[in-house]
Each structure stands twice: as C-alpha cells, then as structure tokens.
Copies of this chain bind each other. A is one copy, B any other.
Amino acid sequence: MSDVRRVFFVSDRTGITAEALGHSLLTQFDVVTEQATIPFIDSVEKSRGALKRIRAASARDLNRPIVFSTIIDQDVLAVLRDSKDIVLYDFFDTFIKSLESELKVPPQQIIGRSHGMADDSMYDIRIEAMNFALHHDDGATLRHYGRSDIILVGVSRSGKTPAALYLALQYGIYAANYPLTADDLVDNRFGSGLPQGLRHQKDKLFGLTIDPDRLHQIRQERRPNSRYAELRQCEYEVARAEAMFRRERVPYLDITTMSIEEIASTLIHQRGLSRRV
C-alpha cells in the first residue's frame, strides 16, 4: 500500500490534451503521482476494459484513482462516470452544455472530428513543412528561402533545428534555419553585417541566442573538451551573434530557460505568423 496517487488520462483519441491539462493541474499540488495514459477509448466495451485496468492497478492503493477524461461520447463516458470508486475529472462534458446554450446549436458528438482525422490536407501540410525544415536545416541550401515563413539564425546548438521542426509538425509553419559559422562571425567583426545569403530575406530573420554557460554545457555533451565546446569560444560566439542581431535589427530570443513549445509559441506570437493547420 502506498500514498502515491494513481492518475489515469483516458481519451477517445491520443490522450495528449488530457495529459497536458491534467499534468498542468497536478503540478500545482505537492503530491507524488503515478501516471498512465489510456488512449483510443472509443466504445463502451473499450471503456469497460479501461475501467477494469484502472481498478486492477489501484486495487491496493489507499486512495481512489484519479481519472482525467476527454471522452466525447456520452455512453462511453458513462461507464467511468457511474463508477464511484474512481474520481473523474471530465474535461469535455463539463463545458459542452454551457457552450451549447451559448452557441444555440446542439453538439454533434463526433469523435475524431476534433482531431482533423481523415483530413489528408492537414497531414500533407505538416509533412511538407517538416521536409522543408529538414532540407533547409543548418543552411544546407539557401534556395527556396523565399518560401519560408521564418528563417532562424544563431550559433551552433542554439536550438534552431528543434524549433524549426516543432513549428513544422505542430503548426505546419515553414521554418528554415541558418547557422552562424566562424566565418560569419569574423566577417561580422569588420562590420560587413549579415551573411550574404540572408541579406535579401531580412524581414524573415529571427535570431536565437542562449546563455554561454548553458551553450558550453550542451556542446560539451556533444564534443567533450573540444575547442568548439570551450566556454571562451561559446562566450565569443554568443557575444558576436548578439551584436550582429542588434546592429542589423534582427529580433532575437534568448532560449536558455525555454521549452521547445515556448520557443515555437513565442516565435509565432512575436512574428505574427499564422498556423497552417
């Protein structure tokens, strides 16, 4: 028997939304939890199976299991709602009645509709954006920069690639990235400004920067004890890159304490980009 609270995220689709909101709620409390996700619960039978699994896992617990649900179908949800041995937080149905009276139309209870399934174009846009990010990663090619929504600029390991890929997969946004190399940074010392390939794309540029200590730590993981990873080298590159951003009036973001989601969301917000999916 243990005092750990057992938590389940149950969804008729992936469970990502239930996880995100449930996790966000739980981290406000100083409790130890054991969490599991049960996705694709889209029939009464599967819901009964989920309940069985939840009960089996919690049989020896001191407290009732906590279940966060985003299940849409009333009958499927009822299996969980009618079980008094679980604590149900229903993220969907809680709001649907109130929305119905506000919108003055009845809800349709269509599972999957909310997730863009069967909409090939949504998939295609994200894949195209991902391919774009991969083909325009690390300045691999300067062609097609014109098609990009944003061009991320920064020193090696300043978070350009994950940001570009996340923008693609989550939002369908076309992000290229250009790494500032030693040459770019030395040139810059003589005041020659932006690297050649970027000069005609100035309105799309966005700089990423990072605390030199953190950059040192990241590079050290990658190439231990190399000149590349030296703290002095990191300090030099970051200082030069930031000086370039300021002089050329390229907006830039310090990503040191940000998650990938936060970087992507900030770029969209500050650049006024529109999601394509």
Contact = CB atoms under 8 A, between A and B. Distances in A.
A21 interface: yes
A108 interface: yes
Q: Quick one: copies of this chain in the complex?
A: 2
B24 A108 contact: no
A95 interface: yes
Interface in A5-52: 5, 13-17, 20-21, 23-31, 37, 39-40
Contacts of A221: 124
Contacts of A218: 124, 127
A111 B257 CA distance: 14
Interface residues of A, number: 77
Contacts of A234: none
Interface stretch (A147-155, A177-185, A245-253, A259-267): A259-267
Contact of A28 (B17, B72, B159, B162): B72
A99 interface: yes
A129 to B, nearest CB: 10
A100 B66 CA distance: 12
A120 interface: yes
Given A162-B127, A260-B126, A269-B40, A30 B113 contact: no
Interface in A218-277: 218, 221, 257-262, 264-266, 268-269
A84 interface: no
A28 B36 CA distance: 27
A14 B275 CA distance: 14
Contacts of A15: 265
Contact of A123 (B39, B130, B259): B259
A103 interface: yes
Contacts of A126: 162, 260
Contact of A262 (B87, B117, B130): B117
Interface string A160-200: 01100110011000000000000000000000000000000
21 contacts: A13-B265, A14-B264, A16-B265, A25-B95, A25-B99, A28-B107, A28-B108, A28-B113, A28-B114, A30-B108, A37-B268, A39-B269, A40-B265, A40-B266, A89-B95, A117-B262, A118-B257, A120-B217, A124-B218, A124-B221, A162-B169
Interface of A: 5, 13-17, 20-21, 23-31, 37, 39-40, 66, 70, 72, 87, 89, 91-92, 94-96, 98-100, 102-103, 105-110, 113-118, 120, 122-124, 126-127, 130, 134, 159, 161-162, 165-166, 169-170, 214, 217-218, 221, 257-262, 264-266, 268-269
A-B complex: 4 closest residue pairs judged by Cβ atoms: A14-B265, A24-B114, A27-B114, A17-B20
